[in-house]
Chain A
Amino acid sequence: GAGVSQSPSNKVTEKGKDVELRCDPISGHTALYWYRQSLGQGLEFLIYFQGNSAPDKSGLPSDRFSAERTGGSVSTLTIQRTQQEDSAVYLCASSRSTTLFNSPLHFGNGTRLTVT
Chain B
Amino acid sequence: AQSVTQPDIHITVSEGASLELRCNYSYGATPYLFWYVQSPGQGLQLLLKYFSGDTLVQGIKGFEAEFKRSQSSFNLRKPSVHWSDAAEYFCAVGAYNAGNMLTFGGGTRLMVKP
Point out residues on A near B: beta carbons under 8 Å.
3-4, 31, 33, 35, 40-45, 48, 50, 56, 59, 91, 93, 98-101, 104-110
Contacts and interface: CB of A to CB of B under 8 A. Distances in A.
A107 B43 contact: yes
B41 A100 contact: no
**Interface range on chain B: under 10, 10 to 19, 20 to 34, or 35 or more?**
20 to 34
B42 A109 contact: yes
B100 A99 contact: yes
Contact of A31 (B6, B32, B43, B100): B100
29 contacts: A31-B100, A33-B101, A33-B102, A40-B106, A41-B106, A42-B6, A42-B90, A43-B92, A43-B102, A45-B101, A45-B102, A48-B101, A56-B99, A93-B44, A99-B100, A100-B94, A100-B101, A100-B102, A101-B94, A104-B34, A105-B44, A106-B43, A107-B43, A107-B44, A107-B45, A108-B43, A109-B41, A109-B42, A109-B43
B58 interface: no
Contacts of A93: 44
Given A42-B105, A42-B107, A43-B104, A104 B99 contact: no
Contacts, number: 65
Interface of B: 4, 6, 9, 32, 34, 36, 41-46, 49, 51, 90, 92, 94, 96, 99-107
A50 B106 contact: no
Contacts of A106: 43
A42 B36 CA distance: 12
Contacts of A35: 104
B106 A42 contact: yes
B101 A91 contact: no
Contacts of B36: 107
Nearest to B99: A56
Contact of A42 (B49, B51, B100, B104): B104
A100 B43 contact: no
A38 B93 CA distance: 19
